[in-house]
């Protein structure tokens, strides 16, 4: 059957032509031929010029997710395996692969799917209708490619339970793919051991994107008193403890996360100096300030305060507030590690918000480092959605 064609309006598709991976519904002028949502279609410019092949879904605002810009491409099982091989080769060359993000959607030219490797377990998150149909083929290719390097996968768990699936006309789902297994998986990262709950943990179970940023705090935590806010399962707090901090407090609003963090502290023999408290960070920071508390290092790793452009203004207020409160707790000459994981909180806006917080706290900031997500979450230039994590380390000093 001849492939259906999606034709763009004149003057549209600027992001796609610049290297982006998406075509939005308001950029399309017409459809030619029959197709089911989720099928591969050909994308053409208004004048008939070939632009690529991609999955189409008329129920989604992202009408086409691009797969290839080469006219000779055949979208089949071999194509998917080649994409998987390229993704694995890149990880082997750039990062510790004992636990890593093995496939990162559009940035690995497999739009809408994420595959995380936690030791010998895979966790898959499928967020788009077209790629969902190829999920089984992709996972078989992953197992085949890893087996060639002597890596045996003992189980796969699916965490396709994000709300965004509803926008694709798909149901939310989580569960085993294949035989059940123990979903508490032990991993080792930066010399720190964790039990990752792939079934009930946030997202796919663990935030692998902060791997290198967690290592970056080691040099500033030795012999220090550290506060880790939004600690989740304790990753930054445990890295501070492993680096030789004298005393560490990790705070999170989730009791489940705190329970897991304490379990991770015991796993590393750090329960004597790494402590955890279940509390709302926005309420706790002013309380600590009133009590006259101070810290050598304050770490702020909040969840995304905005997941859309429409709520950016409120997100700015949240980021400004926690950074101001955090800075007020940093001793003169101490350090602030702060980040945003929201794609919509653009780097310039995040920097401006931190600068305003520093002015409110009457602190001068000396930048130690600026980082992004770990390289197993590659940033594909022109595909803006692939760049989301901004991470700073500052020395905070009083006015001189």
Dump pLDDT digits (tens) for 180-200.
999 999 999 999 999 999 999
Query: What are residue 295's phi and psi, to 5 degrees?
Result: -140, 155
Buried b (16+ CB within 10 A) or exposed e, 343-364: bbbbeebbeebbeebbeebebe
Q: Which CATH architecture does the domain made up of 77-183 adopt?
A: 2-Layer Sandwich (3.30)
Query: What are residue 388's phi and psi, to 5 degrees?
Result: -135, -30
pLDDT, tens digit, for every residue of 137-181?
999 999 999 999 999 999 999 999 999 999 999 999 999 999 999
Contacts for 348-354 with beta carbons within 8 Å, 24 or more apart? 349/312, 349/316, 350/319, 350/390, 353/316, 353/319, 353/320, 353/323, 354/319, 354/323, 354/392, 354/394
Instruction: Say whether pLDDT at 2 is over 90.
Output: no
* CATH 3.30.750.80 domain residues, the chain: 77-183
pLDDT, tens digit, for every residue of 52-104?
999 999 999 999 999 999 999 999 999 999 999 999 999 999 999 999 999 99
pLDDT, tens digit, for every residue of 231-264?
999 999 999 999 999 999 999 999 999 999 999 9
Q: Which CATH architecture does the domain made up of 5-68 adopt?
A: Roll (2.30)
* The listed CATH number (3.40.50.150, 3.40.50.280, 3.20.20.70, 3.60.110.10) that belongs to domain 207-398: 3.40.50.150
Residues marked active site are found at 341
Spatial strand order of the sheet with 121-126 comes to 99-104, 113-118, 121-126, 155-160, 173-177
pLDDT of residue 226: 98
* CATH 2.30.130.10 domain residues, the chain: 5-68
pLDDT of residue 291: 97
Spatial strand order of the sheet with 295-300 comes to 274-278, 247-252, 225-229, 295-300, 330-340, 390-398, 363-371
pLDDT of residue 202: 84
* CATH 3.40.50.150 domain residues, the chain: 207-398
């Amino acid at each position: 059957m001849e492939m259906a064609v999606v034709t763009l309006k004149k003057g549209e598709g600027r992001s796609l032509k610049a290297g982006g991976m998406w075509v939005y519904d308001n950029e399309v002028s017409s459809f030619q031929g029959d197709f089911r949502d989720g099928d591969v279609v050909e994308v053409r410019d208004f004048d008939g010029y070939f632009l690529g092949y991609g999955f189409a879904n008329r129920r989604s605002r992202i009408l086409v997710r691009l797969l290839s810009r080469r006219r000779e491409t055949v979208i089949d099982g071999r194509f998917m395996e080649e994409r998987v091989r390229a993704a694995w080769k890149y990880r082997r060359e750039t990062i510790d692969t004992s636990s890593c993000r093995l496939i990162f959607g559009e940035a690995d030219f497999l739009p809408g799917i994420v595959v995380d490797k936690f030791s010998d377990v895979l966790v898959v998150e499928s967020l788009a209708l077209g790629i969902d149909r190829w999920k089984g083929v992709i996972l078989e290719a992953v197992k085949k490619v890893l087996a060639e390097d002597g890596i045996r996968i003992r189980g796969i768990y699916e965490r396709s339970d994000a709300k965004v699936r509803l926008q694709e006309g798909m149901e939310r789902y989580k569960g085993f793919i294949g035989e059940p297994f123990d979903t508490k998986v032990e991993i080792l990262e930066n010399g720190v051991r964790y039990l990752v709950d792939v079934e009930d943990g946030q997202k796919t179970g663990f935030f692998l994107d902060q791997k290198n940023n967690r290592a970056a705090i080691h040099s500033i935590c030795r012999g220090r008193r550290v506060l880790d806010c939004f600690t989740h399962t304790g990753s930054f707090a445990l890295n501070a403890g492993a680096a030789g901090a004298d005393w560490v407090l990790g705070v999170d609003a989730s009791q489940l996360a705190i329970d897991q963090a304490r379990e991770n502290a015991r796993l590393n023999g750090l329960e004597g100096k790494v402590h955890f408290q279940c509390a709302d960070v926005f309420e706790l920071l002013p309380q600590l300030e009133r009590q006259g508390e101070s810290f050598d290092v304050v770490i702020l790793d909040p969840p995304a305060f905005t997941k859309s452009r429409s709520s950016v203004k409120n997100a700015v207020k949240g980021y400004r507030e926690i950074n101001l409160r955090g800075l007020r707790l940093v001793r003169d000459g101490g350090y602030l590690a702060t980040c945003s994981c929201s794609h919509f909180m653009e780097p310039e806006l995040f920097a401006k918000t931190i600068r305003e917080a520093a002015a409110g706290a009457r602190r001068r900031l000396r930048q130690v480092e600026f980082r992004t997500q770990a390289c197993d979450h590659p940033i594909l230039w022109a595909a803006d959605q692939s760049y989301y994590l901004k991470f700073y380390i500052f020395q905070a000093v009083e006015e001189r």
